[in-house]
């Protein structure tokens, strides 16, 4: 059985990655609602740990994974390493003696326990006493309700996680309320839309971006551009000598690296690094997601016979979060960038010939299976390869970020 999964980041108050939640996406055309919770979780665990290897999916971060009442009683969790998973106890799990005993055993073994979609009820106290993290749906609870819950639970040694944080304003509000962790893609939207000038150092990076993407730069031009920036030079040599290329002999000069990669690949790399520099003040997960989307979009495009230049689609994915990186409206940012009209149309309005490629990524991330399949049909790409491409893109992002 083929199982497809995705991940959603969980941040601490400093916007640093604390963990990922692994999300079931699809299994042979079936969506989550068509599978039992037991089957979805066991399939996800099998795929993440046994088939792919959890490091490929989440690097060195622990993963929140949903556990049903039945799986807790079956003692499935202790077969997986305690430093790799956080046991997320679903909201419909009852605090019956057998469940409490199973959770106490997990706690004694050193596993971190989290209560999902928490709403305070007295009968949950036996589980609350064993819990390390409580997840509260920020959008389903009022500020007063959240404050009352946090006050009631203040006598316990518990960390609180706010779910469904989608804007920076919500992140700041939840942080002030007393939450320790934050889940959602708030980092992928502009932090503010104030009309301010872009900093001069970012302007120079945008100018460098324009130069590197000119029609036919020579090796000499590329070498000059790269050698003027120590950071780019270092990252290029680290990249070319990484396990991704399996070189027999170490490359120790910028010119050698440029010749080995070729014009298209070196431009793509430098563009990626420049975008990373533009996002220097942002959560690292923002650039990581940009890189995942870039590589993912490129791989999907390579499956399509009608595509002649997959590099265009690398740029499409890479710049899909540029508004959040620069805290500017997408339309305003696009006016400064040397991108094709097809890319700009897809990014600004989700229209045009490139838009289905972008929508494949966005709908997959959100678990919108029907919409994802619809867009795959539009570009005549094989649905079976989407998850493989996603996983390869995740691995690719770990090399460069």
The domains of the chain are located at 3-188, 200-400
What is the largest distance, in Å, between two alpha-carbon atoms of the chain?
Answer: 72
Whole-structure pTM value: 0.80
Q: What's the confidence (pLDDT) of residue 249?
A: 81
Least confident window among 144-158, 215-229, 278-292: 215-229
Binned at pLDDT 50, 70 and 90, residue 276 comes out as confident
Average pLDDT of every residue of the chain: 85
Residue 387 banded pLDDT, cuts 50, 70, 90? confident
Task: Determine the average pLDDT of the residues in 246-257.
Answer: 83
Domain 200-400 indexed as CATH 1.10.3210.10: yes
Could you please report the per-residue DSSP string of 176-206? Answer: HHT-SEEESSGGGS-S-----PPPHHHHHHH
**Mean pLDDT of the 63-76 span:** 90
| pLDDT surpasses 60 at 137 | yes
**Number of neighbouring beta carbons within 10 Å of residue 142:** 8
Kindly state the average pLDDT of the residues 157-168. Answer: 93
Mean pLDDT of 295-319: 88
pLDDT at 197 over 60: no
How large is the average pLDDT for residues 353-378? Answer: 89
Mean pLDDT of 6-33: 76
Report the CATH number of the 3-188 domain: 3.20.20.450
Given a cut of 80, whether residue 33 has pLDDT beyond it is no
pLDDT at 1: 46
Tell me which long-range contacts 368-376 makes (C-beta under 8 A, separation of at least 24): 369/25, 369/26, 369/31, 370/31
Give residue 31's pLDDT: 44
């Amino acid at each position: 059985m083929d199982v497809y999964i995705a991940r959603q980041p969980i941040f601490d108050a400093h916007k640093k990655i604390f963990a990922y939640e692994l999300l079931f996406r699809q299994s042979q055309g079936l969506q989550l609602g068509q599978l039992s919770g037991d089957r979805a979780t066991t399939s996800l665990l099998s795929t993440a740990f046994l088939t792919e290897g959890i490091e490929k999916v989440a690097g060195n971060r622990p993963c929140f994974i949903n556990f049903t009442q039945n799986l807790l009683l079956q003692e499935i969790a202790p077969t997986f390493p305690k430093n790799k998973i956080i046991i997320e106890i679903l909201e419909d799990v009852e605090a019956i003696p057998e469940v409490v005993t199973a959770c106490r055993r997990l706690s004694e073994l050193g596993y971190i326990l989290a209560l999902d979609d928490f709403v305070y009820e007295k009968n949950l106290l036996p589980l609350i006493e064993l819990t390390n993290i409580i997840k509260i749906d920020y959008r389903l609870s009022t500020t007063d309700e959240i404050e009352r819950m946090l006050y009631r639970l203040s006598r316990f040694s518990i960390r609180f996680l706010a779910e469904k944080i989608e804007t920076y304003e919500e992140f700041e509000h939840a942080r002030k309320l007393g939450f320790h962790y934050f889940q959602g893609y708030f980092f992928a939207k502009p932090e503010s839309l104030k009309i301010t000038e872009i900093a001069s150092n970012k302007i120079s990076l945008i100018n460098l971006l324009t130069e590197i993407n000119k029609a036919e730069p020579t090796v000499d031009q590329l070498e000059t551009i790269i050698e003027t920036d120590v950071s780019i030079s270092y990252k290029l040599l680290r990249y070319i000598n990484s396990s991704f290329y399996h070189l027999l002999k170490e490359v120790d000069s910028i010119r050698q690296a440029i010749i080995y990669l070729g014009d298209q690949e070196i431009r793509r790399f430098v563009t990626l690094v420049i975008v990373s520099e533009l996002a220097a003040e942002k959560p690292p997960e923002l650039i990581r997601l940009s890189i995942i989307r870039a590589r993912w979009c490129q791989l999907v495009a390579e499956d399509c016979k009608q595509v002649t230049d997959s590099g265009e689609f690398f740029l499409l994915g890479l710049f899909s979060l540029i508004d959040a990186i620069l805290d500017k409206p997408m339309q305003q940012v696009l006016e400064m960038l040397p991108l094709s009209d097809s890319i700009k149309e897809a990014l600004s309005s989700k229209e045009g010939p490139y838009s289905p490629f972008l929508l494949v990524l966005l709908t997959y991330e959100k678990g919108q299976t029907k919409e994802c399949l619809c867009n795959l049909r539009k570009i005549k790409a094989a649905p079976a390869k989407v998850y493989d491409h996603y996983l390869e893109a995740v691995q690719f992002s770990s090399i460069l970020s």
